[in-house]
Structure 1
């Protein structure tokens, strides 16, 4: 097996791994944003609203941190995404 063929196989394998992590992040973010809008209507008190959304936010943070650890996304990109999501929780 030539090194070129083997290298292409490794590239495809790594691309699939990276896509899986990125898709998981996108899916978690969508779920968080949907919960933000739905819970805003359900809960009248701010305490109930924020506790439920903070748990969803922590799940998104876990996915983002895992992707950074595996070097799928850059740490500054992760920090930017996390800051943007945390800012949405306030409003």
Structure 2
């Protein structure tokens, strides 16, 4: 642990941000996985889950959790599976 006050604060802030980012990224992955499983099984609500996954991917990209091109690629692949 650092001795300088500002460095101590940076460590604490970074830990808090890391926890929030990890949680958001995990939620995004879960949403995408649910959509993929629904498409694979042919569930009735598959289209709604795909829309939710697209929204989660866009949100993650806007927050900088994943690169915008990665989000676009994942959305494209989901859409391809849906059609």
Q: Same fold (TM over 0.5)?
A: yes
Alignment deviations for residues 20-73 of structure 1 (CA, whole Å, 9 cap, x no partner): 111011111111122112227xxxxxxxx6xx4221110001111111222222
2:63 is the counterpart of 1:59: no
Moved >2 Å (runs of 4+): none
RMSD: 1.7
Gap regions ≥5 residues in structure 1 = 41-48
TM-score, length-scaled by structure 2 = 0.83
Partner of 1:15: 18
TM-score, length-scaled by structure 1 = 0.76
